[in-house]
């Protein structure tokens, strides 16, 4: 099964801090629905990564682009399909 990764790089730290709670709440909904496999910030506070586990790339991309940090422009995103080599 392919996964989809959103690599998020922080562009505006002040704006990002203002919408961090909204970003976390947005992701929590999809985490509870099983559509996020893993997520978390980089230790240097330069952004983070989200790994989506959705039915297809279109669904993952729609979720990723509606994330408040992308919608508000506090982070930029690189979006890629990814294959895990770990056992399911």
Instruction: Categorise residue 47: left if φ over 0, alpha if ψ from -120 to 50, beta otherwise.
Output: left
How confident is the model over 16-75, as pLDDT tens digits?
999 999 999 999 999 999 999 999 999 999 999 999 999 999 999 999 999 999 999 999
DSSP state of 6: E
DSSP state of 39: E
- Taken in order of first residue, the domains within the chain and their CATH numbers are 2-83 (3.30.70.1060)
Question: 68: Cβ–Cβ under 8 A, 6 or more apart, which residues?
Answer: 19, 22, 23, 26
Question: What residues pair up with 9 in beta bridges, in sequence order?
Answer: 47, 76
| pTM score, whole prediction | 0.92
């Amino acid at each position: 099964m392919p996964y989809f990764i959103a690599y998020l790089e922080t562009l505006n730290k002040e704006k990002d801090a203002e919408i961090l709670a909204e970003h976390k709440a947005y992701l929590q909904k999809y985490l509870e629905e099983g559509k996020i496999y893993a997520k978390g910030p980089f230790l240097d506070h330069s952004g983070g990564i989200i790994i989506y586990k959705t039915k297809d790339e279109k669904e993952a991309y729609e979720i990723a682009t509606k994330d408040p940090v992308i919608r508000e422009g506090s982070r930029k995103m690189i979006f890629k399909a990814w294959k895990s080599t770990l056992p399911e």
